[in-house]
Chain A
Amino acid sequence: MIEQVFFYAALVVMVAGFISVLRVILGPSVPDRVVGVDTLNTIVVAAMILLGAAYDREIYIDIAIVYALLSYVGTLAIARYLQGGLS
């Protein structure tokens, strides 16, 4: 049984994702683009959870958890690079 309402919620979240992609493309400075990518990561996690609920597969939530954990590491790596790199 596929719940229609979760597809509409995922559609709304995807519109927000396209807006943050716009910031990544247009951002005048590098930190703007980093914040855009970080926002996009969170939005993608929300979309994965909603699509997992829409397709009624609870194992899709695992991928969302892994993505949330590793996107934190990626953002931290970029922040560390902008801060001056390792040591």
Chain B
Amino acid sequence: MSTTDGDMGVVVRTSARATIPLIGIFGAYIVAHGHLTPGGGFQGGATIAGAGILFLLAFGLEEMKRHFNKNLYSALEGIGGLAFLGAAMLGISVAFFYNTLWHNGPFFNGNPGTLLSAGYLPIMNLAVGLKVFTGLVSAMAGLALYRRWRG
């Protein structure tokens, strides 16, 4: 069994403190550069959810219960889906999923290959990343909190 109640040793906890921001920042990089490099919303969101899984593994269930807010994560998942739908609805005067930000929009219309280009794609990547991250962390927390086998 572990040293104290519910968490792993001091090496794992300290390295998790160093690694969780690294995984989070790298996942945010994957999400934000979804239209330029490999990856995108789902891959970046799953990477950030890996940081959540590392938090649960390193710090234990009690610490996870203290930091996990079910209502907040559920609301953020809904907001991610609604932001995707809202970005798809922006050019509804021409067609559904019409990329009006790219054709005649005020922003996200830079040169192809730069960060602020590709119209609604960065918004959709952020929305999908938020949805995947909150959904996976909620599913993992639900499974971890499901039932105790003994005691």
Interface residues of A (CB under 8 A from B): 59-60, 62-63, 65-66, 69-70, 72-73, 76-77, 80, 83-84, 86-87
Contact = CB atoms under 8 A, between A and B. Distances in A.
A84 B8 CA distance: 11
Contacts of B30: 62, 66
Contacts of B54: 72-73, 76
Contacts of A63: 38
B47 interface: yes
Nearest to A76: B57
A77 B50 CA distance: 11
Interface in B1-42: 1-2, 5-6, 8, 12, 19, 22-23, 26, 30, 37-39
A73 B26 contact: no
B57 A66 contact: no
B57 A69 contact: no
A80 B57 contact: yes
A84 B23 contact: no
Contacts of A69: 19, 22-23, 26, 47, 50
B113 to A, nearest CB: 13
The A contact surface, by secondary structure, is: helix
A80 B124 CA distance: 36
Nearest to B64: A86
A86 B6 CA distance: 6
A87 B6 contact: yes
Nearest to B1: A84
Given A66-B47, A69-B23, A76-B12, 8 more contacts: A62-B30, A66-B43, A69-B22, A70-B23, A72-B19, A73-B57, A77-B53, A84-B2
Contacts of B43: 66
B5 A77 contact: no
**For the complex of A and B, 3 pairs with smallest distance between CB atoms:** A87-B6, A87-B61, A84-B1
Nearest to A57: B38
Contacts of A80: 8, 57
B2 A83 contact: yes
A12 to B, nearest CB: 26
Nearest to A81: B57
